[in-house]
Amino acid sequence: MSDYLFDARIIPAIAVVGEDKSYPVGRIFCVGRNYAAHAAEMGNEVDRSAPFYFTKSPSAVELSGATTPYPPGTQNYHYEMELVVAIGAPVFRMDAKHAWEAVYAYGCGLDMTRRDLQIAEREKKRPWDLGKDVEQSAIFAPLTKATDIGVIGAQQIKLELNGELKQDALLSDMIWKVNEIISHLSGFYHLRPGDLIMTGTPAGVGPVVEGDRIDGEISGLSPVSLTIGKAE
């Protein structure tokens, strides 16, 4: 018997390669404009003074292999392929040198985006929530423990739409490296196990339509896939 008025939502969780237990999701932080070529294709300059973020709710979580409906309110739903960092230890005000120690695992993720709404919000200098915090828009593949992948460096990150290569870059192209992002975020938040960071997307983003199949890969990690279903 709980004290809740109604059934609380179940905490979403992501499988971990080689583990019986899964990784329960707390918060989802997303880095904006972390690849110069993507910032340029969106008509933006890269701000090299500090990274910036938006967030997605746990209700945005969907697992790789799913079919998700084309979401309401958009005519321009986009894919963004990203490296996901899963935090595995409490972190607060941690310097970049030691920030690697907070990484539990890495994964492939998709930051699906209502691009038309994001751009409209951006132009009105409003928050990006309608564009980014979309239900079933944060797609996660099974995570791979950091100890099983080793150093994050020149791994390839790519995305195919219906078998056609659309995004193709190296993780070393990221402007803000994984440890720098964790260190910076930890100056504002008490990061905890369960917190995820989507580290930004390379160039080549584009729209999807009903029936499309997305396949994303990063060398050494489990691939992520998504099928776009009918609009609700």
Name the residues that contact Mn ion, by CB under 5 A. Answer: 80, 111, 201
- Our CB check for Mn ion shows the closer of 80 and 133 to be 80
Smallest gap from Cβ 111 to Mn ion, in A, equals 3
Q: How far apart are alpha carbons 83 and 67 in whole angstroms? A: 21
- Our CB check for Mn ion shows the closer of 17 and 37 to be 37
- Our CB check for Mn ion shows the closer of 16 and 84 to be 84
Which residues lie below 8 Å from residue 93, measured CB to CB, with a gap of 6+? 186, 187
Q: How far apart are alpha carbons 175 and 199 in whole angstroms? A: 10
**Residue nearest to Mn ion according to CB distances in the complex:** 111
The token duo for 105 is 């695992």
Q: How far apart are alpha carbons 164 and 231 in whole angstroms? A: 23
Which residue bears the tokens 């890969």? 217
- Our CB check for Mn ion shows the closer of 42 and 96 to be 42
Smallest gap from Cβ 95 to Mn ion, in A, equals 26
Smallest gap from Cβ 229 to Mn ion, in A, equals 22
Q: Which residues of 151-164 are buried (b: 16+ CB within 10 A; e: fewer)?
A: ebeebebbbbbeee
Smallest gap from Cβ 146 to Mn ion, in A, equals 21
- Our CB check for Mn ion shows the closer of 111 and 195 to be 111
Other beta carbons within 10 angstroms of residue 13's beta carbon come to 15
Smallest gap from Cβ 157 to Mn ion, in A, equals 12
DSSP of 205-226: -EE--TT-EEEEEETTS--EEE
Smallest gap from Cβ 98 to Mn ion, in A, equals 26
- Our CB check for Mn ion shows the closer of 94 and 141 to be 141
